[in-house]
Amino acid sequence: SLSSGISPSRLSRKDAGEVNKEHQLITQRLQIEPVWSEVAHDAGYRALLEWKWKNLAGRTNAMTASGIGGSKAVARAEAAIKMLHQTGLQAAIDPQHRAEATAIKEALL
């Protein structure tokens, strides 16, 4: 158990890369400006993601999410997953199910 009480990510680097690509496409499509920062953590890295966007009334809105992983890419992917869940843009997908889907996709290629 880590001192922070947060378990390390179960995402593979490959799955983290896919999540990060999905996140980039979504933020570009929705014209959201993501702001990232990473700091060292017991498990590797902690990434903080902040989304900023203007609503229909022209007011700026912001949301934040954080993630922890053994690499910056995995920590970013964990933060992106949390943000996408918080905003309702993506359903929760268990890391094990994501890994199984990746394995099936690769077997078909």
- In the CATH scheme, what architecture does the domain 13-102 have? 2-Layer Sandwich (3.30)
Task: Report yes or no: 8 and 68 within 8 Å, Cβ to Cβ.
Answer: yes
pLDDT at 7 over 90: no
Average pLDDT over residues 26-54: 94
β-bridge pairing 60-69 and 33-41: unpaired
- Euclidean distance between CA atoms 52 and 34, whole angstroms: 7
Residue 81 confidence (pLDDT): 94
Which sequence spans correspond to the domains of the chain? Answer: 13-102
CA nearest neighbour of 11 among 90, 64, 84, 73: 73
Q: Comparing 91 with 21, which gets the higher pLDDT? A: 21
pTM of the model: 0.76
Question: If you ran DSSP here, which 8-state letter would residue 86 be given?
Answer: H
Distances in Å between the Cα of 41 and the Cα atoms of 19, 56, 95 are: 21, 38, 21
Query: Considering the chain, what percentage of its residues have pLDDT values greater than 70?
Result: 83
pLDDT in tens, 52-93: 988 889 999 999 999 999 999 999 999 999 999 998 887 656
